[in-house]
Chains A and B, each alone.
Chain A
């Protein structure tokens, strides 16, 4: 798949809270196909101290209108500068980058997102739904403020929520949700994206229940195109780049996760 560079036009910037925002972008040219789990490298302008691009999962894509959306959480000065973008501004993206989630063999998938880690799950939920798979979405966060646009997923399946403080949904971590209380779980596949400890806990849970599990890693990267070798992850087949060979990995292949 050919990767490309385009200047997108911001047509809307929804500030969902002090930390979370969604950038809605128009592409002046025909966008290449973007698969669930793929990401973009965004150029941060008007931020004199930052130099590198910032990687973000693709949140929504509208192929007809040539539009995409990125869900972003402010994590530093780069993302803070992006939060200030407004309609009419330009955002330069290298995309589509990385591999994508593999479609499951069974017919029932559980998608788990922690905080901003829910971002790649929208496209995945839509794709699974279009393929006729049954979908459950589990969203976790520290508080209700970290549960972003949960109702969007209801058209694809059941939505479940946990928060650490119990301010929304069940209290506790995603792996403590009552979905997992039974002996035999109905899911043939679990997909997860979020903080590293969350993904490891999900991976262990999936393994103990004998369920195939894929995670989308958020390793630090510079180039995003396989040149710098900074974002490596240790796999059973040696070091792999999370930008080209990832960001999606089956947890059985992750050496340090066994």
Chain B
């Protein structure tokens, strides 16, 4: 008998996306990729979800846009970005040769805006999918408004599906009563995958100044503090839909990632943890591989949804 270790297969498939491993970066926490090239080989990732892209330039919300809370943070960036045309002309050329999957996070205030961005991104060869952000809690119009009711989520998914033929992921808001219903509604309208959770609405107060910590008063909570909530949302959604689920929310290490995979996520996204360790994703990929070797699984697919509830 040989003691040589056969490396487990880490690759997963999310609709037409062939990910070399299940570890992706969450939108808004990784820029577009180049921001992290000093710290890691971004091509080791399963995929990169870009900063949100809207039809027009957006300045975002006023400072202050963040507040640290126990084991997490609130943010209210508000989709600051220079718009889809700028993305295509100035950012796409810098990332088009990546060998990892690049998925653009798409947001806007109107259904027409979402459609415009999707249509403009469709011809870009490197971009094999988009993530429809119907769950941003930090903009007055659009964003989460689309993601908190089944009819609204269905209508924006349907409209974008009609103009976008590549992989369409819909990013869900946790700020709802029944997230599995929303997941089913977007699945019915042709979504190829759902990703969850976006940030949880939260708030923090500076008691000395008797003022909110964020310019927008409320913001989105992320980081390890939200992980148990995220996991308990991924679990019912994975049981409710047939399309692949991408799990996220407070993942900081390989153990966290494996929890989401066991709960039924085909892939995971790492968000706020990128701020603490810009190379954390590589460590998570290695940690998943070590786990598979330790438990003698030949493929990461062998653990997806394999939570034992007996």
Is A121 an interface position by the 8 A CB rule?
no
Report B-chain residues with C-beta under 8 Å of the C-beta of A234: 63
Q: Which of A49, A226, A230, A239 is in CB contact (< 8 Å) with B31?
A: A226
In the bound assembly, the distance between CA atoms of A219 and B70 in angstroms comes to 20
Stretch at the interface among A2-10, A62-70, A82-90, A139-147: A2-10
A 221-258 binary contact with B (CB < 8 Å = 1; else 0): 11111111111111000110000000000000000000
In the bound assembly, the distance between CA atoms of A52 and B29 in angstroms comes to 13
Check A230/B276 contact, CB under 8 A, given A222-B73, A238-B59, A239-B80: no
Are B63 and A219 neighbours in the complex by a CB distance under 8 Å?
yes
Q: How far is the CB of A142 from chain B (nearest CB, A)?
A: 16
Question: Which one of A5, A94, A224, A230 has the greatest number of beta carbons of chain B within 10 Å?
Answer: A230
Q: Which of A4, A48, A52, A230 is in CB contact (< 8 Å) with B77?
A: A230
A 54-68 binary contact with B (CB < 8 Å = 1; else 0): 000000000000000
Q: How far is the CB of B75 from chain A (nearest CB, A)?
A: 6
In the bound assembly, the distance between CA atoms of A219 and B72 in angstroms comes to 18
In the bound assembly, the distance between CA atoms of A94 and B275 in angstroms comes to 10
Is A189 an interface position by the 8 A CB rule?
no
Q: Considering the complex, give the chain B residue whose CB is closest to the CB of A54.
A: B68
Are B274 and A223 neighbours in the complex by a CB distance under 8 Å?
yes
Chain B interface SS verdict (over half):
loop
Are A232 and B65 neighbours in the complex by a CB distance under 8 Å?
yes
Q: Which of A40-54 contact B (CB under 8 A)?
A: 43, 48-53
Report B-chain residues with C-beta under 8 Å of the C-beta of A49: 70-71
Q: Considering the complex, give the chain A residue whose CB is closest to the CB of B223.
A: A51
Are A53 and B80 neighbours in the complex by a CB distance under 8 Å?
no
Is B3 an interface position by the 8 A CB rule?
no
Q: How far is the CB of B226 from chain A (nearest CB, A)?
A: 11
Are A228 and B276 neighbours in the complex by a CB distance under 8 Å?
no
Are A225 and B278 neighbours in the complex by a CB distance under 8 Å?
yes
Q: How far is the CB of A242 from chain B (nearest CB, A)?
A: 9
Are A233 and B63 neighbours in the complex by a CB distance under 8 Å?
yes
Are A229 and B65 neighbours in the complex by a CB distance under 8 Å?
yes
CB pairs A–B below 8 angstroms (22 shown): A2-B38, A4-B39, A43-B276, A51-B68, A51-B272, A52-B275, A94-B278, A219-B64, A220-B63, A220-B65, A222-B275, A223-B274, A223-B275, A225-B36, A225-B278, A227-B275, A228-B75, A229-B28, A230-B64, A230-B75, A232-B60, A239-B59
Given A51-B276, A229-B51, output 15 extra A-B contacts at Cβ < 8 Å. A4-B39, A5-B278, A49-B70, A51-B70, A51-B272, A220-B65, A221-B66, A225-B39, A226-B35, A227-B36, A228-B275, A231-B66, A234-B63, A239-B60, A239-B80
A residues bordering B, Cβ < 8 Å? 2-5, 43, 48-53, 94, 219-234, 238-239
